[in-house]
Amino acid sequence: MCSGRVDLEFVLRALANGMDGVFIGGCRLGECNYVTHGNYHALNMALLCKKIMAHIGLNPDRLRIEFMSAGEGNLFTEVVDDFTKQVRGLGPLGKGEGEDLEPEVLQERLREVTKLVPYIKLMMNPKLSQRLSPAEREDFYTTEEIDALFSEVASYFIDPEKCQACQICLRRCPVEAIIGAKNQIHVIDQDKCIKCGTCFEACPPRFGAVTKITGGPVPPPIPEDERALARKGKGAEA
């Protein structure tokens, strides 16, 4: 499998499942057999993941990515042995030097970040495919950039007073996070929402029913038994 297919979510899932460290091995940079150079994507993903790990209180040294050819078995053994010793030296996940995270706190942070993976990839997409020189890798993602990434996460809410149940946002949502039907006010399932903003862009301007919320709570959805849209018939009073 091409290392470019190693998703950010894979690493987070491994940590959530109790792994103390994650190793990613890929072909040598610049020697892609398929011209896709997915190993650069893997490198950029790993650099991003390290910064995210530091953001949630984990030692980024628990993740390592190395590049070598299939014929370098001895090098692979040396690298894996070295990484194994390094992880053992760090100690159990969440309890290493500078970590001190209770298991439930760590799991909650990993769940929250994993839920935002589609949003993170969307926001960081311009950087994920760049071919970096060794000198560019250290500060490719800055701490300030990662802090802003999480502090500026937007949520989306459908105003029941403006929704016309046109189903445009419902049909466009890539994860089916919008609940609704014909003549039924739509509601966004915040647990399924990936913060992509598709609904915000799809809602017709004449309705303007989708609101983007940053830095504040999302209003609770209206009860299911109140979602029927009452349309005014011809001749009805204005």
Same domain? For 95 and 60 the reply is yes
Q: What is the pLDDT of residue 228?
A: 95
Same domain? For 29 and 135 the reply is yes
Instruction: Report helix, strand or coil for 26.
Output: strand
For the chain, helix, strand, coil in percent to 5 are 45, 15, 45
* Domain end among 124, 150, 176: 150
- In the Cβ-directed half-sphere of 166, how many Cα atoms lie within 13 Å? 17
Beta bridge partners of 154: 214
Cα of first residue to Cα of last residue in the chain, in angstroms, is 63
Tens of pLDDT along the chain (238 residues) come to 788 889 999 999 999 999 999 999 989 888 877 778 888 999 999 999 999 999 999 999 999 999 998 888 899 999 999 999 999 999 999 999 889 999 999 999 999 999 899 889 988 998 988 888 888 888 899 999 999 989 888 899 999 999 999 999 999 999 999 999 999 999 999 989 989 899 999 999 999 999 999 878 999 999 999 999 977 654 444 3
Same domain? For 175 and 115 the reply is no
Pick from 22, 145, 177: which is nearest to 93 by CA?
A: 22
Same domain? For 35 and 102 the reply is yes
Residue 124 and residue 129: Cα distance in Å, rounded?
10
Q: What is the pLDDT of residue 109?
A: 96
Range of the domain at 18: 3-150
Supply the DSSP string of 48-96, one letter for each residue. Answer: HHHHHHHHTT--GGGEEEEE--TT-HHHHHHHHHHHHHHHHHH-STT-S
- In the Cβ-directed half-sphere of 225, how many Cα atoms lie within 13 Å? 0
Q: What is the pLDDT of residue 25?
A: 93
Residue 56 and residue 48: Cα distance in Å, rounded?
13
